[in-house]
Structure 1
Amino acid sequence: MVKLLIIADDFTGALDTGIQFAEKGISTQVFSNFNFKMDEIPSNTEVLVIDTESRPLSKEAAYESVRKISDWAREQGIEMIFKKTDSALRGNIGSELQAVCDSYPDETLFFIPAHPEIDRVIKEGTSYISGQLLEHSVFGKDPFEPVTKSFIPDIIKDQSDIAVDVITSEEAIDWDTINQTSILVCDSSTVDDIDKRLNELMQNNTVKYFAGCTALADRLANILSFNRTETASYRKTEGLYIACGSLNKITGKQLDYAEKHGFNRKRLTLRQKSPMNYFNSPEGKTFIKELLEISQENNKVIVDTFEDVINENEKDNKPQESLRFAIAEAHGHLAEEIMNSEKDCTILMTGGDTLMGFLNVIGSTKIKLLCEIEKGAVLSIIEHNGKEQQVISKSGGFGTEDVFCRIADKILK
């Protein structure tokens, strides 16, 4: 029976959150969309994760997507709702939180968005990334979803007029007036701050409606009552193929580091990032042949999309919105070729769009979570045509500079 529903706005986020429960032996099912039937949910599932793919949508479309699922959850009698948000607060934060609140109008949603272990903290309702205001960090310059504010109530109010309050780590919740607040933003500078707040909620039997990132999921998986079993382990493979669709500067530094430490790196041109049947053309087929040869000869390969992303004809000097989906499709086609090649490779994908592009190309929605091989890097199994493909997904803004090298050390034979 499903005890907890997690609603994520992108596929990487769905996996990042779901793995916090799955790797602790809690039966967790992930769906890449809401188009499933009840009998597709295994009967032993206690944590259900649904990806809305709503981060790039308009605030209205994102609201409707989340509202539909949260209304369904209420009808199903699911007791706990977790709205997963990006730790850098990208996406439709205000409209999606309001959607959950509108489904449960008599309840307060506790918003604990900090991720202290990677130095993303909340102080007096303001988000800081590695000591910088969120808006001044690399996420303030995100090519598709720049975050231009740091005070969380202001971020929410860009899309919603819902009542928002802030509570510091030292303050206790005023249970006499809490119902006057729809969203309570909870400060957190340490993991202990998160645990302290959750213990306070548990003592008052109010661990029901909350929002946050993977840090909150990890702490909830430790304290909530679930059935737990032994977990599966991953296997070592001959190769590691990295499909990088992220344009995050953090990822860029990680790629540069990996290239300097033995990875063979290939950069896609703008033409190759806008497929439009490119890979069926003679030029495209030649490129694929060359890529497969590189993969056969090297056990660590990177294909990325950092060069030629900006269209010089764009006056605002921003990437075309359609390009992000073209990039995902291109990586999907190339990863399929790698999957079907003779070499046994683990495929690592950065960015939720990238992994979703791969699943769309191969026509698969079945995914099994195994473990978090590095912080923010989830290792899963995708089943397709009777074959199990080992896949790692990593959010663009996560990980140390040497993260790809660390993963290679663990995954390669």
Structure 2
Amino acid sequence: MKRLAIIADNLIGANDAGVQFRKFGFSTQVVLDYARLLDHSAGVDVLAVNTNSRKMSAQAAYERVCQIGSTLSKLGFRRFYKKIDSTLRGNIAEEIQAMLESLSLSLAVIVPSYPAHGRIVENGYLQILQAWGDDSRPLPVCYVPSIVKPAAETPVAVLTLRDVRQGEKKLIQKITKLHAAGIHLIAVDAVADEDLRTIAIAVSNIDIPCLAVGSAGLAGNLPIAWKIADQGPANLRQGTMIVAGTLNHVTAEQIVSVLDYPNTELIAIHAAEVYEGHTTTVRQQIIARVETALAGGRIPVLVTDMLLMNRNDAGALSLSVQVQKYGQIITNLLGDITREIVKGQGLRNLVISGGGTTTSICNTLGITLIDLERELLPGIPVGKAVGNSCDGLRLITKAGGFGKRNSLRKVLELL
């Protein structure tokens, strides 16, 4: 296949999309530092680049993605995938526009849907399906065209489920007709994996040079359209730790569930003590507890106590305000603790939930590259860390809001 470049606005996204290709046999690596593309671009089928631009200003994100797109084109990449958040967070419109301009493309087909994680688009409206709870009705998020257009006057077409389910040939005809009419941005509905597969085949076979834009959902169906290879087993070794820095309620449910797994041990950082300035003491205590757990053959599950608090509790609400102000201190602490454990205990499997936590830990460990191996579960890839003294460390990463209640438990079963 032609070499593929994936451009994602954060590390979790780069992993999520990249592993979709690795599981079909393509060599896939994730570059954490976009400034070092020249060092890592040779000899790999798929290169996923973390632009780290989700929280930047719109103009800064546009300029960075433009630069990266131009560099990748000069390096010989001919297929491109713009990974976006499945709930459309970040500088979506600006980054799509940057890709189109830097690659001299005139068409983007945009498919945020990720049905495996309850993200669907119908009639152009992005919705989230609740995986559990009494209220199973879809929660509306936004109208996709309003998010992806770079200016109010820019036209964005919507192809509905009816269009998609007429098949890939009809879909190609409709996209071609819209492009001929001067439409450069086309959002496409999808509520099931079968819809994504149809769209992927259409995008892969259209005569117009096209930028595929979407979540890991669409990415997971593109290898089927381009090439299929055998998926090998993940030969993971023992010595596992789970780190959850996110406060997302989805991860909270998963932590409660995973603690029923044999030999897991909850180790909670008391956020209030950190905010009161006792970081050094907390760090020493947590490292000692993690080391003891690992030495006893247990799986430490490292979280902040805020994650498991009742959100309606007055104390939790007070701490939540502190998190907004001092959250980076906790994130840095998690990175520092993990570095000491990896260095001193020979940790082999590291499961991380939360994009900010993943980035902080990778930076602290000096990881420069992730060599993706496969996808353990939808949206939960595993890869081998490269860089510093972490060569061989297996990273299993997950967005805070991804997965079902038992996803982390299933990860441990697969390890």
TM-score by length of 2: 0.83
Contact 1:33/1:51, CA 8 A, preserved across alignment = yes
Contact 1:234/1:370, CA 8 A, preserved across alignment = no
* CA–CA separation in structure 2 for the residues paired with 1:394 and 1:357: 14
1:361 aligns with 2:364: yes
Contact 2:108/2:186, CA 8 A, preserved across alignment = yes
The aligned residue for residue 220 of structure 1 is 222
1:8-407 matched pairs, under 5 angstroms = 8-43=8-43, 45-104=44-103, 107-130=106-129, 149-157=141-149, 162-171=154-163, 172=171, 173-179=174-180, 180-206=182-208, 208-225=210-227, 231=232, 233-237=234-238, 239-262=239-262, 263-270=264-271, 281=280, 284-297=283-296, 299-307=298-306, 323-342=326-345, 344-383=347-386, 384-385=388-389, 387-407=391-411
Contact 2:267/2:286, CA 8 A, preserved across alignment = no
SS in 1 for 2:29: strand
Q: CA deviation at 1:197?
A: 2.5
Q: Which amino acid aligns with 1:185?
A: A
C-alpha spacing 1:266/1:5, structure 2 compared with 1 (3 Å): same
Q: Which amino acid aligns with 1:391?
A: L
C-alpha spacing 1:123/1:354, structure 2 compared with 1 (3 Å): same
Q: CA deviation at 1:157?
A: 4.6
* Identical counterparts, % of pairs: 23
* CA–CA separation in structure 1 for the residues paired with 2:285 and 2:129: 44
Q: CA deviation at 1:323?
A: 4.0
More helix by share: 2
The aligned residue for residue 143 of structure 1 is none
* CA–CA separation in structure 1 for the residues paired with 2:343 and 2:7: 32
Contact 1:324/1:353, CA 8 A, preserved across alignment = no
Q: Which sits farther off after the overlay, 332-341 or 379-388?
A: 379-388
Contact 2:270/2:305, CA 8 A, preserved across alignment = no
* CA–CA separation in structure 1 for the residues paired with 2:272 and 2:47: 39
Structure 2: give runs of 5+ residues left out of the alignment: 164-170
Q: CA deviation at 1:114?
A: 0.9
C-alpha spacing 1:192/1:325, structure 2 compared with 1 (3 Å): same
Structure 1: give runs of 5+ residues left out of the alignment: 141-147
Cα deviations across residues 314-370 of structure 1 (Å, max 9, x unaligned)?
99x756656444333221111112212336452110122212111211222132212
* CA–CA separation in structure 1 for the residues paired with 2:378 and 2:225: 20
Q: CA deviation at 1:35?
A: 1.5
The aligned residue for residue 166 of structure 2 is none
SS in 2 for 1:87: coil
SS in 1 for 2:177: coil
Q: CA deviation at 1:131?
A: 6.5
* CA–CA separation in structure 1 for the residues paired with 2:371 and 2:96: 28
Contact 1:87/1:114, CA 8 A, preserved across alignment = yes
SS in 2 for 1:341: helix
* CA–CA separation in structure 2 for the residues paired with 1:259 and 1:365: 32
Q: Which amino acid aligns with 2:179?
A: I
* CA–CA separation in structure 2 for the residues paired with 1:364 and 1:138: 41
* CA–CA separation in structure 2 for the residues paired with 1:313 and 1:160: 41
Cα deviations across residues 246-289 of structure 1 (Å, max 9, x unaligned)?
2211111111222344532122223666799x66x455324422
Cα deviations across residues 163-204 of structure 1 (Å, max 9, x unaligned)?
322111222415234141221000111222222223333443
Q: CA deviation at 1:290?
A: 3.0
Note the aligned Cα RMSD (angstroms). Answer: 3.4
* CA–CA separation in structure 2 for the residues paired with 1:118 and 1:187: 16
C-alpha spacing 1:345/1:195, structure 2 compared with 1 (3 Å): closer
* CA–CA separation in structure 1 for the residues paired with 2:69 and 2:405: 38
Q: Which sits farther off after the overlay, 25-34 or 301-310?
A: 301-310
Contact 2:267/2:289, CA 8 A, preserved across alignment = no
TM-score by length of 1: 0.84
Contact 2:130/2:137, CA 8 A, preserved across alignment = no
C-alpha spacing 1:225/1:100, structure 2 compared with 1 (3 Å): same
SS in 1 for 2:162: coil
